[in-house]
Structure 1
Amino acid sequence: MRRPGPRAAASDAHGAPGGTPEHGGRPGHSGGAPAAARPAAGRAGWAPAARATLHCLTGCALGEILGMVIGTALSWHNVPTTVLAIVLAFVFGYALTVRGVLAAGVGFGAALRVALAADTLSIAVMELIDNGVIVLWPSAMDAQLSDALFWGVLAASLVLAFVVTTPVNKWMIGRGKGHAVAHRYHH
């Protein structure tokens, strides 16, 4: 079992985080950010990592599918379709996190910063895997919306992206980064 460090031990009579001696003992002032704004680091389980990845996958899949559908329906070439899908994956991924953080009463600018910190690496890994599968799968880039191959490869790529990204999110949450940053806003 891990023993709490000096920051975890510093609290007032009500259990609220207090300051550390190196910062004058001021409550909530240890390292520049209020105690509530600092995510906790420590062991991360697979369940929180899977939930974080599923959250990320939802936004990525919405953007990815919409981008692929738009590009394919407009008969765009592969590169602009892929670029649109990636951009929309980031937009939808960030938007879901911003929406949740805004619901906690945080301003838009702060909510956007939380989303960027929480989701950027997760979305990037997911998009790398997802688009890599689509590009490398024979004939997938030539499939049309009416082809089972289009939907099958897209589904397989998203499943593989989930499997690869979950350990990344576990690692980040264990270090107080990634979705650990956004999690404190979800009550």
Structure 2
Amino acid sequence: MALSATLHCLTGCAIGEILGLMIGTAIGLSVGWTILLAVGLAFLFGYTLSAFPLVRAGLGVGAALGIVFAADTLSIATMEVVDNAVMALIPGAMDAGLVNSLFWVSMMIALAAAFLAAYPVNRRLLARGRGHALTHEFHHSSSQVAGARRFIPSLPATTLAIAIVAFMVGGLTVSIADELGNEESGGAGSHASAGGSTITR
């Protein structure tokens, strides 16, 4: 349950974190504002994904958010502190740009560290009947969903995790391809220049 809770929490955090860092990096925000944006979006997506199953199971939005705040805040906060600290500590990671392998590798390292840091937190909370234990029955509810609640998406954490990993691997692949292409272009330009100077002589 601790692993499941941590993975579930990580998916929402990862979506918000990646989106925040991408937006901040793309529009040239300072490191401080980029981190603030990433943290805000991580909490937003983390709470939202946790609230979906509760509302789908029949709880009102207010009641669902109350449970989610009590269940997930400490886990999300732990992830955010570790994730952003790792990103800030890796030289050049925050200023690397989206088409840069350093950004994606750093993000993978940061999210992995955040997962490892949040796991013991969730395990301790579960042992005390808190944290994800408060939402567990709603996440695995088999009751019939009726009315408008049918349109609330049911998003398994494993599916989201696979999609997030695939997205980051795709970003890393594009970055590596771009860097290799730039190296080849630079090398070709250098050879052409050298050839031209030989002919001139």
Q: Percent identity?
A: 52
Partner of 1:83 in structure 2? 36
| CA shift for structure 1 position 139 | 1.6
The AA in structure 2 aligned to 1:144 is: G
TM-score by length of 2: 0.68
- Counterpart secondary structure, 2:94: helix
Q: Specify which structure has the higher proportion of helix.
A: 2
2:119 to 158, 166, 182: 166
The AA in structure 2 aligned to 1:185 is: F
2:4 to 43, 51, 72: 51
TM-score by length of 1: 0.73
- Counterpart secondary structure, 2:130: coil
1:36-115 equivalent positions in 2, closer than 5 A:
48-115=1-68
User: 1:131-184 CA distances to partner (integer Å, 9 max, x unpaired)?
Assistant: 010111112122110110001001110011101111110000110100000112
CA radius of gyration, larger in: 2
Provide runs of 4+ in structure 1 moved above 2 Å: none
Partner of 1:129 in structure 2? 82
Q: State the distance in 2 between where 1:140 and 1:72 align.
A: 10
- Counterpart secondary structure, 1:114: helix
| CA shift for structure 1 position 101 | 0.6
Task: Quote the RMSD (CA, aligned, Å).
Answer: 0.7
Number of equivalent positions: 140
Q: State the distance in 1 between where 2:21 and 2:95 align.
A: 12
| CA shift for structure 1 position 73 | 1.0
The runs of 5 or more residues in structure 2 that have no matched partner are 142-201
Q: State the distance in 2 between where 1:78 and 1:168 align.
A: 27
Partner of 2:176 in structure 1? none
Are the equivalent residues in 1 in contact too, given 2:25–2:94 (CA < 8 A)?
no
Partner of 1:147 in structure 2? 100
The runs of 5 or more residues in structure 1 that have no matched partner are 1-47
- Counterpart secondary structure, 2:138: coil
